C-alpha cells in the first residue's frame, strides 16, 4: 500500500462571494478575481489571483472561494519553479502562469509542480 503526500485542505479558509459569469460543473477549481463589490469572476490572462473557486450554488449566483491554504491548480506555458517566491498570474483558462512582465504578479510558495498533469500546488496564505 502506497502513501501519497497531499497538501490540499491544509490551513483551508473559504468564503461565499457573489459570482459573475461562472457556471456550476465547469468552473470549479479555476482561479478568480474581484470583479465588483463582494463579487468574483474568472480571471483573464495576466490578472492577479484572489483565490480558487471551490463550489458554485445551483443558481450560479454564489461561489465559495478558497483564499487560504494549499490549492492545486493547472498552469500553462513554461513550468513554474517550485519555491518560496514563485511569481504567478492567471492564464486565460482558469489556471496560472508565469507573468509575461516580471514584477506584475504575486509571489507564492509553490510546493509541487507536476509537469505531466500540468498542475502545481501553491500556498495562498
Tens digits of per-residue pLDDT, 20-43?
Answer: 999 999 999 999 999 998 899 999
pLDDT of residue 4: 54
In the structure grid, which three cell numbers stand for residue 121, read together? Answer: 500546488
> Rounded mean pLDDT of 89-108?
98
Mean pLDDT (whole number) for 42-49 = 98
DSSP class of residue 105? S
What mean pLDDT is predicted for residues 54-72? 92
Q: How far apart are the first and last CA of the chain?
A: 32
Which has the minimum average pLDDT: 5-9, 22-26, 89-93? 5-9
pLDDT score at 66: 93
The shares of helix, strand and coil residues in the chain, as percent rounded to the nearest 5, are 0, 50, 50
Amino acid at each position: 500500500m502506497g502513501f501519497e503526500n497531499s497538501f490540499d485542505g491544509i490551513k483551508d479558509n473559504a468564503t461565499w462571494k457573489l459570482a459573475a459569469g461562472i457556471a456550476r460543473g465547469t468552473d470549479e477549481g479555476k482561479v478568480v478575481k474581484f470583479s465588483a463589490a463582494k463579487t468574483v469572476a474568472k480571471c483573464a490572462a495576466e490578472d492577479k489571483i484572489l483565490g480558487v473557486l471551490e463550489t458554485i450554488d445551483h443558481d450560479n449566483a454564489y461561489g465559495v472561494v478558497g483564499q487560504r491554504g494549499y490549492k492545486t491548480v493547472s498552469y500553462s506555458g513554461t513550468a513554474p519553479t517550485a519555491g518560496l517566491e514563485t511569481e504567478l498570474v492567471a492564464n486565460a483558462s482558469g489556471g496560472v502562469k508565469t507573468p509575461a512582465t516580471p514584477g506584475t504578479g504575486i509571489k507564492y510558495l509553490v510546493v509541487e509542480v507536476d509537469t505531466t498533469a500540468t498542475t502545481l500546488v501553491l500556498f495562498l496564505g
